[in-house]
C-alpha cells in the first residue's frame, strides 16, 4: 500500500508542481524555485522505490478500469525504474540549466515553458512505470501533446512548420500503427499486461508476429527509426533545454524504452529470437545507425548534428533489443542512461554557446574553446562518452552491445558498431578541436562586442574568457561529472537490470 | 414496478416539454420563456436518469397511453437503449439551456426570442417522443414534430443564408419523413399493425415479400436523410453552419443521435437480424460509412467556417456509427451506441465553444479566430480539449469509441476497415489543427477591439461538457455497460 502510494506520488508530484508554477507565475524567482523543488522531490520519491525493486519486488497500483478487463495500471520493474531515475534525475540538472538559459536568452512565455515541462515529466514517469501497454500508450500520447507547445515555443513560422512535422509524425505513427498493434494484441491474447516472457508466444503465427513487430516498431515514432526520424531534427527549433532533456532524454528515451518494453514483455525475447532468421528490424536499426551518423557529418548547425547523432544512438538501443538476447537487452537498457548523460551535456554546451556567443554553426566556432573553456571541456567529456571511450559511462553500454552481437553470431553488427564509433569521432571531435586549436576568424557577428549582455543572468566574463551564465555552467559540470560517475558505478545499473536480462 | 405518479413518468417526459412550449407563447417574454425551457429540460433530465436506473435494475418499462392495450392503443416503451438516448438528449438540452440566454440575446432578435424557446421545447419533445414510443406511426409523428420545429430553429439564424439552409433542410427532411411513412404504410399493409413488438412478431411470416423489402428501402432512405447518412447529408453542413450557435450545439449533439436510434430500432427491433441476410443493408451501410469517414473528413479540412468544418466532421462521425451497425456484432453495435453518447458530448462541447467565440467576435470563420488563444484562453482551451476527444486521444471518450470500433473491425478480420478508421482520425487531426494554428500562432488583426473571455454562465456549461469528455473517457463503467446491454438486447431481439 505504501509503495503504491509512492508510485502515485511520483506521477502527481510533477502535476502538482505544474499547478504551483502557474500560481507563482508573477514571481519568476519563486516559480523557478517551485520547478527545482518539484524536480528534487520527484527524484527522491522515485529513488525510494529502488531498494524494493532491487530486492525483486514489483510494486503495483491499479487506478481505473477503462474497458472491461483493461486497467490503468502502474507497475515498477527494473527497466522502468532505470528510465524513471534517469528522467527525474536529469530534470533537476536540466532545471538548473533552464534557469540560466531561458533568462540568458530572454525567452518569452517562460511560465508556459516550465508548466508544460513539468507535465512532460509527469507523462515520462507515467511511461516509465506503466504496467500495461494501454497505460503506456496513454502516457506516450500525452507526452507528445504536451511537448508540442514546447517545440513551437517561439511561435515563429518555422516553429509552426516544425510543430506540424513533429505532431504529424508522432501522432500519425502512434495512432495509425501502434494503436492498431495494441488493439490487435488485445484481440488475440486478451491481455496487454507486461508479462515476463511475453504474451504472444503460441498465440499467433510467425507471420503475424512479423507484422505486429512492424506495426509496433514503426508505431513507436519516438524511437526515430528511419524513415520516420524527421520529427527529431524538426524538434530542434525548440529552446535548447527542451532539446536537451526532452529530445535527448525523456521523449526519445520514452520511445526506445517502449521498444524495449514491447520486445521484452509483449513479444518475449525468446519468441523474437525464434523468428530472428528474417528479423528485418536488426538491419533497419543498423542502417539507421550508420546513415544518420553520416548525415550528422554533413550538418554544420550544431543542434542539427546532435539531433542526427541522437537518431543514430537510439538505433543502438533498438538494435540491442532486436538482437534478442540478454546481453543486447542489457546493453540497450544501459545505453538509455549512458547516452542520456552524454547527450544532455552536449546539448547544454550547444545552448551555452548560443547564449554566450550567439553562434549556432560549427564553422563559426573556431577558437571558441579558449573563450569558453568550461563549456568546451564539458563538450569533450560528453563527446567521449557518446563515442564510448573509457573512463566514461558510454563505454559500458557499447561493450555489452558488441558482446551481444558476437553472442548472437552477427559479426556484421560488430562491424557496424565499430564503424559507427569511428563516425562518432568524426562528427564530434572536430568541434572540440576547432574550439581549442583553431584561431578565431575575424568576426562578422556584431553580437560579439555586445558587452551590455553580460551580467549574472547573461554570462560570465573574466579577462578574455566569456562564458555562459553560471547556472548553465553548473548544469553542464554536473552532467559531465555524471558521465564519469556512471563509468565507475555501472555495476549498480547492471545489478538492477540483471533480473530482466537473465544475466548473472 | 413503478407506482403512483412515477408510473406516469414515461408520458410526462414527453408531455412536459410539449405543454411548456405553448406556455412560452402565452407569456411572450424572453426571460420567462427561458426559465420555462430551463426548468422543463432539467426536469426531463431528472426523469430520464430515474427511468434509466429503473430500466437497468428492473428491465423494460411499458406504458399504455389511456390504458388502451398495446396493439390497439399507443404504447410507450423504455428499455436500456431508449433510456440511454433519452439521457443524451435531456442532458445536452439541460446544459445547452444554461448556456443559451446570453448567446441567444445577441443572435436572435429580442421580439422572436420566446419563439426560439418554444421551438426548442417542441424539438426537445419530438426527440424524446421518438426515443420513447413503441409505435412505428407515432414515431413518424414525433419525427415530424422535431423536424418542423428544428426547421424554424435553423431559420432563426441571423444571416439570410439561414433561410435557404432551412428551406433545403425542410425539403429534404420532408422527403425523408415521407419515405419513412411510405415504408411504415407498406409494413402496415402486410402485417396490419403498427406496434413495434407486434410488428416484430408478425414480420417473420412476411419478411421475404417484395413489399417488406421495399419498405426497408424506403425506411432506410427516409431515416438516412434525417441522420445525415452520406450521401444524403447535403442539407446538414449549411443547416449547422447558419443556424444560431445554440441551435447548432443542440441539434448536432442530439438530432442525428436520435435518428441513429430510430434506425437501430427499425432494423433490430422490427425486422430483426435476419433482415441482413435478405438484403445487403449491412454492406451498404458499411461502404457508405467508410466513404463518409474518409471523404467528409477530407472535405472538412478545406472549410473556412469553423461551424461548417465541424458539420462535415459530424457527417464523418455518423459514418463511424453506421460502420458499427454494419458489423452486425455486439462489439460493433456497442461501438455505435457508445459513440452516440460520446459524439454528443464531443460535438456539444465544440459547438458551445464556438458559440462562445461567436458571442465575442461575431464570426466563426477560421481566419477570424486568429489570436483567440490569448484573447479567450478558457474558451479556446475547452475547444482544444474537446478537439482532442474528437481526434480520439487516450483519456477522452473519443478514444473509447474508436477502441471499440477498431476492436469490432479486427474481430471480423476487416483490416481495411480498421485502417480506414485510423486514417480518418488522422484526417481529424489535420482539420482540427488548422483551427488551433490560427488560434494560437497567429495574432489578432491590428486594430481589432480588445476582447475578454466569455462570462462564467457560458464557460461553466462549456467546461461541464468538456469535463464529461474526460470523465466518461476515464470512468467508462456506466457508458460501456449501458451500451453493451443495449447492444445485446438488440441482437438478442432476433428470433
Q: What is the ipTM of this complex?
A: 0.82
Asked whether residue B43 carries a pLDDT value surpassing 80, the answer given is: yes
Over residues B198-206, the mean pLDDT reads: 86
- B403 and A184: CB-CB below 8 Å? no
> In which element (H, E) is residue A386 found?
helix A373-387
Asked whether residue B93 carries a pLDDT value surpassing 70, the answer given is: yes
Which chain A residue's Cα is nearest to B417? Answer: A180
pLDDT, position A442: 63
Q: Does B374 touch chain A (CB under 8 A)?
A: no
Contacts of A355 (CB under 8 A, 6+ apart): A100, A101, A104, A105, A458, A459, A468, A469, A472
What is the rounded CA–CA span in Å between residue A182 and residue B299? 30
**Cis bond upstream, residue B312 (ω within 30):** no
Q: How many residues are there in chain A?
A: 504
Range of the domain at B476: 280-495
- Which of B210, B238, B265 is the C-terminal boundary of a domain? B265
Report the SS3 class of residue A87: helix
Confidence of residue B201 (pLDDT cuts 50, 70, 90): confident
pLDDT, position A446: 47
Q: How many residues are there in chain B?
A: 495
Please tell me whether residues B157 and B251 are part of one structural domain.
yes
Indicate yes or no: pTM above 0.80: yes
Q: Which residue has the higher pLDDT, A335 or B3?
A: A335
Please tell me whether residues B301 and B371 are part of one structural domain.
yes
pLDDT for B139-193, tens place per residue? 999 999 999 999 999 998 888 888 999 999 999 999 999 999 999 999 998 888 8
Q: How far is CA A248 from CA A42, A92, A240, A306, in A?
A: 20, 15, 11, 9
- Distance of residue A66 Cα from the nearest chain B Cα, in angstroms: 6
Q: What residues of chain A score a pLDDT lower than 50?
A: 446, 448-452
Whether residue B461 lies inside any domain: the answer is yes
- Distance of residue A120 Cα from the nearest chain B Cα, in angstroms: 16
Please tell me whether residues B72 and B115 are part of one structural domain.
yes
What is the rounded CA–CA span in Å between residue A221 and residue A466? 40
C-alpha cell recorded at residue B428:
481529424
Please tell me whether residues B493 and B376 are part of one structural domain.
yes
- A66 and B476: CB-CB below 8 Å? yes
- A160 and B480: CB-CB below 8 Å? no
- B400 and A180: CB-CB below 8 Å? no
Which chain A residue's Cα is nearest to B442? Answer: A155
Longest CA–CA span in chain A (Å) reads 70
Whether residue B218 lies inside any domain: the answer is no
Closest CA to A275 of A327, A213, A223, A226: A213
Please tell me whether residues B13 and B144 are part of one structural domain.
yes
What is the rounded CA–CA span in Å between residue B338 and residue A471? 52
Burial of A3 (0-12, 13-18, 19+ CB in 10 A): middle
pLDDT for B419-476, tens place per residue? 899 999 899 989 998 888 888 888 888 777 778 888 888 899 999 999 999 998 888 8
Confidence of residue B258 (pLDDT cuts 50, 70, 90): very high
Quote the Cα angle for B354-B82-B75, to 5°: 130
Whether residue B273 lies inside any domain: the answer is no
What is the rounded CA–CA span in Å between residue A402 and residue A420? 12
pLDDT for A336-359, tens place per residue? 999 999 999 999 999 888 888 888
C-alpha cell recorded at residue B489:
438486447
Q: B243 φ, ψ to 5°? A: -65, 155
- Give the percent of chain B with pLDDT over 70: 99
Report the SS3 class of residue B366: coil
C-alpha cell recorded at residue B329:
456484432
What is the rounded CA–CA span in Å between residue B115 and residue B247? 13
- Distance of residue B440 Cα from the nearest chain A Cα, in angstroms: 8
What is the rounded CA–CA span in Å between residue A45 and residue B216? 64
Give, as one character, the DSSP assignment of residue B66. Answer: G
Asked whether residue B236 carries a pLDDT value surpassing 70, the answer given is: yes
Give, as one character, the DSSP assignment of residue B362. Answer: S
Q: Which residues of A touch B474 (CB under 8 A)?
A: 64, 66, 72
Q: Which residues of B touch A187 (CB under 8 A)?
A: 407, 410-411
Alpha helices in B192-233 (DSSP H): 196-206, 210-227
- A142 and B395: CB-CB below 8 Å? yes
What is the rounded CA–CA span in Å between residue A242 and residue A147? 9
Report the SS3 class of residue A60: strand
Alpha helices in A190-225 (DSSP H): 206-219
Which chain B residue's Cα is nearest to A68? Answer: B477
- Give the percent of chain B with pLDDT over 90: 50
The total of other beta-carbon atoms located within 10 Å of residue A463's CB is 5
Please tell me whether residues B307 and B240 are part of one structural domain.
no
Whether residue B235 lies inside any domain: the answer is yes
- A176 and B423: CB-CB below 8 Å? yes
If you search the block for the grid coordinates 513479444, which residue do you land on? A267
Whether residue B406 lies inside any domain: the answer is yes
- Which of B210, B237, B265 is the C-terminal boundary of a domain? B265
Please tell me whether residues B381 and B259 are part of one structural domain.
no
Closest CA to A473 of A343, A392, A378, A340: A378
Domain count, chain B: 2
Quote the Cα angle for A96-A98-A100, to 5°: 75
C-alpha cell recorded at residue B188:
402496415
Whether residue B409 lies inside any domain: the answer is yes
Please tell me whether residues B257 and B405 are part of one structural domain.
no
- Domain parsing of chain A, residue ranges: 279-504
What is the rounded CA–CA span in Å between residue A107 and residue A159? 14
Please tell me whether residues B341 and B367 are part of one structural domain.
yes
Please tell me whether residues B463 and B351 are part of one structural domain.
yes
pLDDT, position B111: 84
pLDDT, position B277: 82
What is the rounded CA–CA span in Å between residue B225 and residue B234? 9
CB A317, CB A256: distance < 8 Å? yes
Whether residue B193 lies inside any domain: the answer is no
Q: How far is CA A440 from CA A434, B242, B438, in A?
A: 9, 66, 44
Q: Which residues of B touch A180 (CB under 8 A)?
A: 406, 418-419, 422
Please tell me whether residues B336 and B463 are part of one structural domain.
yes
Whether residue B171 lies inside any domain: the answer is no
Residues of A with CB under 8 A from a CB of B: 64-68, 72, 134, 137-138, 141-142, 145, 152, 155, 160, 164, 167-168, 171-172, 175-176, 179-180, 183-184, 186-187
Amino acid at each position: 500500500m505504501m509503495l503504491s502510494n509512492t508510485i502515485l506520488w511520483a506521477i502527481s508530484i510533477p502535476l502538482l508542481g505544474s499547478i504551483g508554477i502557474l500560481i507563482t507565475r508573477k514571481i519568476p524567482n519563486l516559480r523557478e524555485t517551485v520547478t527545482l523543488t518539484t524536480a528534487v522531490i520527484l527524484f527522491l520519491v522515485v529513488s525510494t522505490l529502488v531498494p524494493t525493486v532491487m530486492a525483486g519486488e514489483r510494486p503495483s497500483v491499479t487506478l481505473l478500469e477503462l474497458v472491461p478487463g483493461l486497467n490503468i495500471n502502474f507497475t515498477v520493474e527494473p527497466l522502468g525504474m532505470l528510465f524513471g531515475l534517469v528522467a527525474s534525475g536529469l530534470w533537476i540538472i536540466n532545471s538548473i540549466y533552464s534557469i540560466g538559459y531561458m533568462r540568458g536568452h530572454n525567452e518569452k512565455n517562460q511560465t508556459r515553458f516550465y508548466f508544460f515541462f513539468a507535465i512532460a515529466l509527469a507523462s515520462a514517469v507515467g511511461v516509465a512505470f506503466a504496467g500495461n501497454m494501454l497505460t503506456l500508450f496513454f502516457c506516450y500520447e500525452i507526452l507528445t501533446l504536451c511537448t508540442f507547445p514546447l517545440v513551437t515555443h517561439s511561435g515563429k513560422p518555422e516553429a509552426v512548420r516544425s510543430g506540424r512535422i513533429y505532431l504529424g509524425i508522432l501522432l500519425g505513427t502512434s495512432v495509425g500503427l501502434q494503436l492498431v498493434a495494441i488493439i490487435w494484441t488485445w484481440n488475440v491474447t486478451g491481455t496487454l499486461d507486461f508479462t515476463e516472457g511475453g504474451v504472444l508466444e503460441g498465440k499467433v503465427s510467425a507471420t503475424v508476429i512479423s507484422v505486429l513487430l512492424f506495426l509496433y516498431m514503426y508505431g513507436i515514432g519516438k524511437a526515430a527509426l528511419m524513415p520516420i526520424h524527421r520529427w527529431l531534427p524538426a524538434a530542434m527549433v525548440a529552446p535548447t533545454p527542451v532539446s536537451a532533456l526532452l529530445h535527448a532524454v525523456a521523449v526519445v528515451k520514452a520511445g526506445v524504452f517502449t521498444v524495449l518494453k514491447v520486445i521484452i514483455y509483449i513479444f518475449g525475447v525468446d519468441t523474437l529470437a525464434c523468428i530472428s532468421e528474417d528479423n528485418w528490424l536488426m538491419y533497419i536499426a543498423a542502417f539507421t545507425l550508420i546513415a544518420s551518423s553520416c548525415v550528422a557529418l554533413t550538418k554544420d548547425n550544431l543542434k542539427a548534428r546532435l539531433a542526427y547523432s541522437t537518431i543514430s544512438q537510439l538505433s543502438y538501443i533498438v538494435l540491442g533489443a532486436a538482437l534478442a538476447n540478454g546481453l543486447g537487452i542489457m546493453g540497450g537498457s544501459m545505453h538509455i542512461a549512458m547516452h542520456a548523460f552524454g547527450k544532455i551535456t552536449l546539448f547544454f554546451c550547444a545552448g551555452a554557446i548560443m547564449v554566450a556567443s550567439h553562434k549556432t554553426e560549427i564553422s563559426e566556432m573556431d577558437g571558441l574553446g579558449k573563450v569558453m573553456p568550461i563549456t568546451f571541456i564539458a563538450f569533450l567529456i560528453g563527446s567521449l562518452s557518446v563515442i564510448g571511450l573509457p573512463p566514461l559511462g558510454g563505454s559500458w553500454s557499447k561493450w555489452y552491445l558488441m558482446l551481444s552481437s558476437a553472442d548472437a553470431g552477427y559479426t556484421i553488427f560488430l562491424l557496424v558498431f565499430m564503424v559507427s564509433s569511428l563516425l562518432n569521432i568524426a562528427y564530434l571531435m572536430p568541434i572540440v578541436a576547432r574550439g581549442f586549436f583553431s584561431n578565431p576568424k575575424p568576426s562578422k557577428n556584431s553580437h560579439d562586442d555586445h558587452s551590455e549582455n553580460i551580467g549574472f543572468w547573461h554570462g560570465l566574463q573574466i579577462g578574455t574568457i566569456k562564458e555562459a551564465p553560471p547556472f548553465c555552467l553548473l548544469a553542464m559540470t554536473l552532467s559531465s561529472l555524471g558521465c564519469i560517475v556512471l563509468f565507475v558505478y555501472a555495476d549498480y545499473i547492471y545489478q538492477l537490470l540483471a533480473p530482466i536480462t537473465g544475466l548473472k | 414496478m413503478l407506482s403512483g405518479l412515477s408510473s406516469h413518468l414515461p408520458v410526462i417526459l414527453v408531455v412536459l416539454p410539449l405543454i411548456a412550449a405553448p406556455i412560452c407563447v402565452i407569456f411572450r417574454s424572453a426571460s420567462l420563456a427561458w426559465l420555462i425551457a430551463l426548468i422543463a429540460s432539467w426536469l426531463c433530465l431528472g426523469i430520464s436518469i430515474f427511468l434509466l436506473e429503473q430500466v437497468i435494475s428492473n428491465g423494460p418499462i411499458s406504458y399504455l397511453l389511456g390504458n388502451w392495450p398495446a396493439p390497439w392503443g399507443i404504447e410507450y416503451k423504455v428499455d436500456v437503449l431508449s433510456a440511454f438516448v433519452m439521457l443524451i438528449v435531456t442532458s445536452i438540452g439541460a446544459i445547452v439551456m444554461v448556456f443559451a440566454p446570453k448567446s441567444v440575446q445577441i443572435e436572435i432578435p429580442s421580439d422572436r426570442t420566446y419563439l426560439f424557446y418554444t421551438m426548442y421545447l417542441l424539438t426537445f419533445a419530438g426527440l424524446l417522443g421518438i426515443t420513447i414510443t413503441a409505435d412505428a406511426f407515432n414515431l413518424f409523428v414525433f419525427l415530424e414534430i422535431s423536424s418542423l420545429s428544428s426547421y424554424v430553429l435553423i431559420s432563426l439564424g441571423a444571416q439570410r443564408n439561414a433561410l435557404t439552409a432551412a428551406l433545403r433542410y425542410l425539403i429534404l427532411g420532408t422527403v425523408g419523413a415521407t419515405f419513412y411513412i411510405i415504408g411504415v404504410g407498406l409494413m402496415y399493409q402486410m402485417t396490419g399493425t403498427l406496434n413495434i413488438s407486434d410488428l416484430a412478431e408478425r414480420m417473420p411470416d412476411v419478411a421475404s415479400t417484395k413489399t417488406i423489402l421495399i419498405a426497408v428501402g424506403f425506411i432506410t432512405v427516409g431515416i438516412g436523410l434525417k441522420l445525415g447518412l452520406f450521401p444524403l447529408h447535403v442539407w446538414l453542413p449549411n443547416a449547422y453552419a447558419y443556424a444560431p450557435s445554440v441551435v447548432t450545439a443542440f441539434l448536432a449533439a442530439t438530432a442525428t443521435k436520435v435518428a441513429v436510434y430510430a434506425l437501430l430500432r427499425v432494423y433490430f427491433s422490427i425486422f430483426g437480424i435476419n433482415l441482413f441476410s435478405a438484403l445487403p443493408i449491412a454492406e451498404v451501410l458499411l461502404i457508405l460509412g467508410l466513404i463518409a469517414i474518409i471523404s467528409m473528413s477530407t472535405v472538412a479540412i478545406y472549410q473556412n467556417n469553423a461551424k461548417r468544418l465541424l458539420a462535415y466532421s459530424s457527417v464523418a462521425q455518423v459514418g463511424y456509427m453506421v460502420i458499427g451497425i454494419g458489423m452486425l456484432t455486439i462489439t460493433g453495435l456497442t461501438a455505435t451506441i457508445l459513440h452516440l453518447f460520446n459524439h454528443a458530448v464531443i460535438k456539444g462541447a465544440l459547438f458551445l465553444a464556438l458559440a462562445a467565440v461567436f458571442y465575442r467576435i461575431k464570426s466563426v470563420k477560421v481566419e477570424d479566430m486568429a489570436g483567440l488563444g490569448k484573447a479567450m484562453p478558457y474558451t479556446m482551451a475547452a475547444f482544444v480539449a474537446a478537439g482532442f476527444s474528437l481526434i480520439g486521444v487516450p483519456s477522452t471518450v473519443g478514444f473509447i469509441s474508436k477502441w471499440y470500433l477498431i476492436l469490432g473491425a479486427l474481430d471480423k478480420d476487416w483490416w481495411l476497415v480498421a485502417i480506414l478508421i485510423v486514417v480518418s482520425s488522422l484526417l481529424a487531426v489535420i482539420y482540427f489543427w488548422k483551427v488551433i494554428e490560427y488560434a494560437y500562432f497567429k495574432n489578432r488583426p491590428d486594430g481589432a477591439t480588445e476582447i475578454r473571455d466569455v462570462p462564467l454562465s457560458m464557460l461553466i456549461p462549456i467546461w461541464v461538457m468538456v469535463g464529461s469528455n474526460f470523465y466518461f473517457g476515464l470512468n467508462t463503467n456506466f457508458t460501456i455497460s449501458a451500451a453493451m446491454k443495449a447492444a445485446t438486447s438488440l441482437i438478442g431481439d432476433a428470433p
